[in-house]
Chains A and B, each alone.
Chain A
Amino acid sequence: MSTASAATANGEHAGEHVTPIKTYLKIYGALLVLTYLTVQVSLWDLGDPAIYVALAVAIVKATLVALYFMHLRHDTGFNRFVFVSSLLFLVIFFGLTMVDLGTRGDVNEIQDTFALQQEKAARERMVKKQAPPAPPKPTR
């Protein structure tokens, strides 16, 4: 598979793929371009989809770093498996938590609006006093 494997002078095979410098520079260029793009896109007011656009660009950048800089492209399947399984658990974690937060209002109106009401109340306080909401003072 790997055409340019590192081999030592005494013939001992290190079994590692040596990526050409050109490939590294290309990935580096792509990462910088994507960073510039994500900054530019954030200046347009996309509204709610903005976070998905930003995340999509970040995921592309992260994939490039993992595949090329971290050598996952030429690594063993097991190391790839470890990395991907940690991402899988992140998806379960984020997914189920957001489903929980997003559907609380369906069963209990008060829970859904509790935090938003707090924010609204804090904003009203600020407009009234032109001061930020005083966080609860410690009783000590």
Chain B
Amino acid sequence: MINAAGPEHTAHLEHHFASADQQRGAAKLGMWIFLATEILFFGGLFMAYGALRYFYPGTFRAAHEYLSIPLGGLNTAILITSSLTMALAVRAAQISDRKQLVRFLAVTLLLAGAFLVVKYIEYSHKFHLGLLPGRYYTAKGIPGMPHVFFGVYFVMTGLHGVHVIAGMIVIAWVLIRGRQGRYSAAYYTPVENVGLYWHLVDLVWIFLFPLLYLVR
């Protein structure tokens, strides 16, 4: 996501690319390869979830009851909505609509913040009850090895939360540059790649929500 714009806004094309299309294609391919590594990165954690669930089916069934379906569902809706506004922001850049681009990016950023607020409410509730990983687990009443389940829960949602924060930083970055009028139909690769990243964050949550909160 190197900004190709030089001192002049029209100078988007780096000298080592033959055309703007080629430059865009290369940047997007790089982004997709990065997303593939992200999928494999989260894949390891999903595998850990699968293996531990296989080992401790009773624990997972009992411990998942302590996750709030309304809050998790709300966060799913928030993230899906933010994915829509992100897609609309990219669309606005494609048609050179600066006003809409800034507006949709701002809404996406707000929704990402709302997601973190809900996550904070959930986390503080878990901390309060002592539903924590490993030896920090102090709650009573869940049979089996619940500290293993909460280890999985906190690592997976925590890492996803880190991705949300990273997403907010890059969305804020394209928001600021979008306000400056740096993006148009001729050049909007950073908006597009930030969008792809944000949709991946949504994709991961689409699997986290049912597996952690819903499945008995």
Contacts and interface: CB of A to CB of B under 8 A. Distances in A.
Interface stretch (B28-36, B159-167, B174-182): B28-36
Mostly, the A contact residues are: helix
Contacts of A13: 21
B105 to A, nearest CB: 15
B54 A101 contact: yes
Interface stretch (B1-9, B84-92, B109-117, B118-126): B84-92
A132 B142 contact: yes
A6 B91 CA distance: 10
Given A86-B39, A90-B39, A32 B77 contact: yes
A116 B135 CA distance: 20
Interface string B92-106: 001110000000000
Contacts of B73: 35, 39
Contacts of A12: 20, 186
Contacts of B137: 132, 135
* Chain A interface residue number, banded: 35 or more
B40 A89 contact: yes
B190 interface: no
Interface string B35-75: 11101100110110011001110110000000001000100
A57 B83 CA distance: 18
A131 interface: yes
Most buried by B among A14, A27, A101, A123: A14
B145 A86 contact: no
Contacts of B32: 79, 82-83
Contacts of A7: 185
Interface in A62-85: 62, 65-66, 68-70, 75-76, 78-79, 82-83, 85
Interface in A11-46: 12-16, 18-19, 21, 24-25, 27-28, 31-32, 35, 38-39, 42, 45-46
A130 B29 contact: no
A85 B39 CA distance: 11
A131 B139 CA distance: 9
13 contacts: A8-B96, A14-B21, A21-B88, A38-B214, A54-B214, A69-B199, A70-B195, A79-B29, A86-B39, A93-B44, A116-B55, A127-B143, A135-B134
Given A62-B203, A83-B35, 19 more contacts: A6-B95, A6-B185, A14-B186, A25-B84, A27-B84, A28-B80, A35-B77, A46-B216, A69-B83, A83-B32, A97-B47, A102-B54, A115-B55, A116-B55, A119-B55, A122-B143, A123-B143, A132-B137, A132-B142
